[in-house]
Structure 1
Amino acid sequence: MQSRSNSAQRIMLSDPSPRTPQRSCSQTPLLKRTPSRATLSISQSSKKRRRFSIQTFDFETTELGAPPASEVAVEETDADRFLAVRGSTMLPLNTTPRTNRIAKSFGLVDDRVLNCGETSATPAQTKVRSILRRCASELFDTPRTISAISAKSNLAVRKQFVMALDGPGISLNLFASPMAWSHSNCIGVAFKLNVYFQNLDTRVIVRLCGVPVIDGVVHSVDWGGITNQHILALGTTCGVVQAWDSLAQKQIVDWSDDDSPVGGIHWNGDLLGVGRKDGRVSLFDIRAPKQVQQVEGHRRHVIGAKWSPDGRYLATGDQSGSVHVWDIRAKDYVTVNDRKVLMKHEGPVKAISWAPWQSGLLATGGLFPDGKIQLWNIHKPNASLTIPTDTNVTALHWSPHCKEILSTHGLSWEPWHVIRRAEPPAKQAPRTSFSNSMTVHAYPSCDKIVSVHAHSAPIGHACIGPDGCSVFTVSPVEETIKMFKVWSAPVGKGKDDGGMSHKCAIR
């Protein structure tokens, strides 16, 4: 039986003459499967380059165990798998009256298929479609609004100074703090041996006091807080510390028993903290002038001192770059996990500022060769943020209204200056975006918001106004003092323009 079937198969395949088909199972002709439209649509629309085989089925050879016929490879295109695309070679499709009726009802006569291109539309339809697309894009792409309090809405819009004053004779010492702004809206400035102040509301300039030549040059000044807003303290390069009443224009206290030169000074209510050149920090109480406390811990000149807003902590920075934080109630270092809180810079630290809206958040800035701004929390000293500037950081001020910090800068330098550990030359120093600038950064992203070249020479010091919106900068080389509007206060808080209702320049 098997031999007869094989012989019949060979005769059928080799004989080209037509024969009448018989009903015998052994003489069944070869049946070839015709691909349908659905098969071609799927095979031509997949992104993956798969291979489908249209195999010739032979029931007789399948029964007899003969090898399958050769495969016909159909390669797919890289088209979208859900949108049928006309291929480069269209295979003939076997259609029936039923498929023609269905194609006609769907508008697919004449072998038309879907494609990725848009159909022709009238100008009116195109215009409506574009309007709808634009409206939808505006819904999903809403621009971020800029706060009216931020420096981006104030200093970035108007970069010019609001007021300018002459400042001849201001100390050229980079460690000096020769200017301060009181809560009564008075600006006090030290000019060599004299201290002047101006009431920004009345515009009256008054010479408050002067010191003898033997007492040295006035190095730093600072106004008392809200409780003592009319009291100004000064310190000289020979160790003299005095407190003056600006209203009565008379001296209140004279602490001249110590001959160690003064560094940074700052008021905390009735308590005045004064840094010394030998590394000590003297604490003077205006209520008990004869009782002076000493805090020791630094080894170099303490050039920066700043009390926290709650009056509990005192941060000090010295000439070697060490920053200590003191607990005034314990009269000792602040410790975390039995370790004292210590921040280290590669250069002297004069610029120190506490954030008024977050407890323990402290910003410190280093001079040459450090040139960095460190943002750190005294409760988590290991988690700190760094803003490199390669420029002297002379002052830092947090905004009380938003999470932004302002820094003032002097000279810039290149890496070779740091390697050689030499002072950067004043005339050949490179100029960068931070040189002689006033720059505002966002917290905690540390992104630069705006940078303004406030002076043509290095900025030596800066102070923030009582409204928390305006900042005074001083350039000893340029002998100029300028006021800038940096932030805006929320509605109903603070004065606009630092109490200045008009804009002018005094020369």
Structure 2
Amino acid sequence: MSSKYDSITDAITPTCATIKRTPSRASVSSTYSTRKRRRVSVASLHLGQDLARPLVPETPIEEINGDRFVTVRTSTSFPLNITPRTNRIAKAFGLLDDRVLSPTNSPSLYSDRCFRSLLRRSASELFSTSRAASLLSAKANLGARNHFVLALDGPGMSTDLFASPMAWSHANCIGVAFKYDVYFQDLESRAVVHLCRSSLSDGTVHSIDWGGKAKPYLLALGTTFGDVRVMDAEKGMQLVDWVDDGHGMGGMHWNGDVLAVGRAGGNVTLFDIRMRAEIANIMGHKRRVHGVKWSVDGHHLATGDDSGIVHIWDHRASNLLTNGDKNIRMKHKGPVKALSWSPWQHGLLASGGGSPDGAIHIWNTGKMAPSSGPVHTIPLQTTITSLHWSLHCKELLSTHGSSWAVPQINVHPAAHASAVGVENSLAVHSYPSCRQIVNVKAHSAPVGHSCMAPDGCSVFTVSPKEETIKMFRVWSAPDDKDKNEGSDMTFKSTIR
């Protein structure tokens, strides 16, 4: 009897063990989500009636799949890309990769690579989003108009690209030198006045410059033979005449009552209108001084000569800051006429070189040290005739003459393309990126000189070969003051 029941018990035990065993939490969580529930109901056992038949569950196992991922791709599942439209959407969101999860297979390297590519593309789009151009910037003004707003005929101007035959006063008067004569026009009344005429013995007028804000009607002019004359344009009379013994004329610039004049012999002469006499003679250059520019605060004077050397003179110490060490000299490979001090950063100076240099150097004169170079260089391979920092934003304007052939073995082809692009043009560069943001073809011939308006918004350019003077609206003031000024000046007139 015992043997009979022992055999029955042995037959039941494996079956019952199989039914009552509950899967562990670890085995369930590896395949299904924690939100899944597995409910198993087992038929009640009656030893007397059901020993002969096999035991099976009365209710099948019910599985609730609450996960949002497909665990295993089945052969009957529909593809993710049903239509061309969904195909494009899936491709845009990176869903065409192998992204179906599998409990056994690890993520493929291709999937990881595509996911990283998607992240890089998203990040690059985020960082490459261009900001809207500021209303003060040249991009929103000159770049939007891309044309001059005023044109004047200028026959008989000096064809010397190192001459400075035009200046803009704080009284909104534009002065222009034509050979021996000097004219000025009031841009508000449009009245043209003949101011003076130099004699044949003095030579033609090489450079002119208006006085500062305190004396806007004071006009200085220098002839090719070195004669310097100061005129009162409001009264139409000569105030003083400084005669130089045989030295030619370079550039000139006012600093209050003091006038700095560059000479052909390499020296720079300082005149004081109050004393009506020469007060200083700066010796540092060995060639003709083309560029002369006072800093905004009037403490430093920058000068550039025909050999490409730029010197900084301290007005308070009466000493050259760049003459003690040869390595500290600021040097170009071509003549330097274009100089401009930044009005919003102390000691920041931009200088431009002519042929064969064709580059803009930006110097931090407040941190000059032996063998220190420019903080930025903009190679353009085109003659740079003038430079102007904006008063309202961090941008630099440059005017250009002709370009020259660039050996492709030393220069990248993109540099040659940019050189041709700025020929005879007016270009604006952002700072400190030094990226060119605007480039407008100003004239059909080289731009010899330019001057900026006192409000810092407009620029006049001169092309002696084209015999034309043009005004361009480049920037806007912060409060948009005089925004429409010059909008009606699209006619062509003559200054003579």
Which one of 439, 446, 454 corresponds to residue 466 of structure 1?
Answer: 454
Q: What whole-Å deviation, never above 9, does each CA across 1:295-330 have from its counterpart, x for those lacking one?
A: 100000001000000000000000000000000111
Distance apart, 1:339 and its partner CA: 8.2
Where does residue 163 of structure 2 map in the other structure? 176
Distance apart, 1:113 and its partner CA: 9.6
SS at match of 1:244: strand
Where does residue 407 of structure 1 map in the other structure? 398
Structure 1 counterpart of 2:210, one-letter code: W
Structure 1 counterpart of 2:285, one-letter code: H
Distance between the aligned counterparts of 1:472 and 1:97, measured in 2? 99
- Contact 1:186–1:198 (8 Å) recurs in 2: yes
Q: What whole-Å deviation, never above 9, does each CA across 1:451-478 have from its counterpart, x for those lacking one?
A: 0011001000000001100000000000
Aligned length: 400
Task: Give the stretch that moved more between structures: 288-297 or 220-229.
Answer: 288-297
Q: TM-score, normalised by structure 1?
A: 0.71
**1:155 pairs with 2:142:** yes
Distance apart, 1:496 and its partner CA: 3.5
Distance apart, 1:333 and its partner CA: 1.1
Q: TM-score, normalised by structure 2?
A: 0.73
- Contact 1:223–1:267 (8 Å) recurs in 2: yes
Structure 2 counterpart of 1:288, one-letter code: M
Distance between the aligned counterparts of 2:285 and 2:426, measured in 1? 30
Where does residue 55 of structure 1 map in the other structure? none
- Contact 2:339–2:351 (8 Å) recurs in 1: yes
Structure 2 unaligned regions, length at least 5: 1-10, 12-26, 33-56, 93-121, 411-417
Structure 1 stretches of 4+ moved >3 Å: 36-41, 96-100, 103-121, 139-143, 335-341, 416-419, 495-503
- Contact 2:169–2:210 (8 Å) recurs in 1: yes
- Contact 1:465–1:498 (8 Å) recurs in 2: no
Where does residue 380 of structure 1 map in the other structure? 367
Distance between the aligned counterparts of 2:268 and 2:159, measured in 1? 23
Where does residue 226 of structure 2 map in the other structure? 239
Q: What whole-Å deviation, never above 9, does each CA across 1:224-283 have from its counterpart, x for those lacking one?
A: 000111010000110100000001111011001432011000000000000000000000
Q: What whole-Å deviation, never above 9, does each CA across 1:357-402 have from its counterpart, x for those lacking one?
A: 1110000000000000001110124351000000000000000000
Which one of 458, 461, 465 corresponds to residue 477 of structure 1?
Answer: 465
SS at match of 1:253: strand
Distance apart, 1:105 and its partner CA: 6.7
- Contact 1:336–1:379 (8 Å) recurs in 2: no
Where does residue 435 of structure 2 map in the other structure? 447
Structure 1 counterpart of 2:447, one-letter code: I
Correspondence 1:72-151 to 2 at 5 A: 100-103=61-64, 112=74, 118=80, 144-151=131-138
Structure 1 counterpart of 2:139, one-letter code: K
SS at match of 1:458: coil
SS at match of 1:152: coil
Structure 2 counterpart of 1:436, one-letter code: N
Distance between the aligned counterparts of 2:261 and 2:78, measured in 1? 77
Q: CA RMSD in A?
A: 3.8
Distance between the aligned counterparts of 1:286 and 1:255, measured in 2? 11
Structure 1 counterpart of 2:377, one-letter code: T
Distance between the aligned counterparts of 1:261 and 1:228, measured in 2? 27
**1:209 pairs with 2:193:** no
Structure 1 unaligned regions, length at least 5: 1-20, 22-35, 42-95, 131-136, 420-429
**1:269 pairs with 2:260:** no
Which one of 469, 472, 478 corresponds to residue 490 of structure 1?
Answer: 478
Where does residue 311 of structure 2 map in the other structure? 324
SS at match of 1:151: coil
Q: What whole-Å deviation, never above 9, does each CA across 1:424-475 have from its counterpart, x for those lacking one?
A: xxxxxx9710100100000000001010011001000000001100000000
- Contact 2:380–2:419 (8 Å) recurs in 1: no
Which one of 375, 383, 386 corresponds to residue 395 of structure 1?
Answer: 386
Distance between the aligned counterparts of 1:271 and 1:390, measured in 2? 35
- Identity over the aligned pairs, expressed in percent? 52
**Aligned pair in 2 of structure 1 residues 498, 211: CA closer, same or farther (>3 Å)?**
farther
Correspondence 1:183-332 to 2 at 5 A: 183-332=170-319
Structure 2 counterpart of 1:238, one-letter code: F
Distance between the aligned counterparts of 1:418 and 1:300, measured in 2? 32
Distance apart, 1:498 and its partner CA: 5.9
Distance between the aligned counterparts of 1:288 and 1:259, measured in 2? 23
**Aligned pair in 2 of structure 1 residues 380, 118: CA closer, same or farther (>3 Å)?**
farther
- Contact 2:389–2:397 (8 Å) recurs in 1: yes
- Contact 2:381–2:419 (8 Å) recurs in 1: no
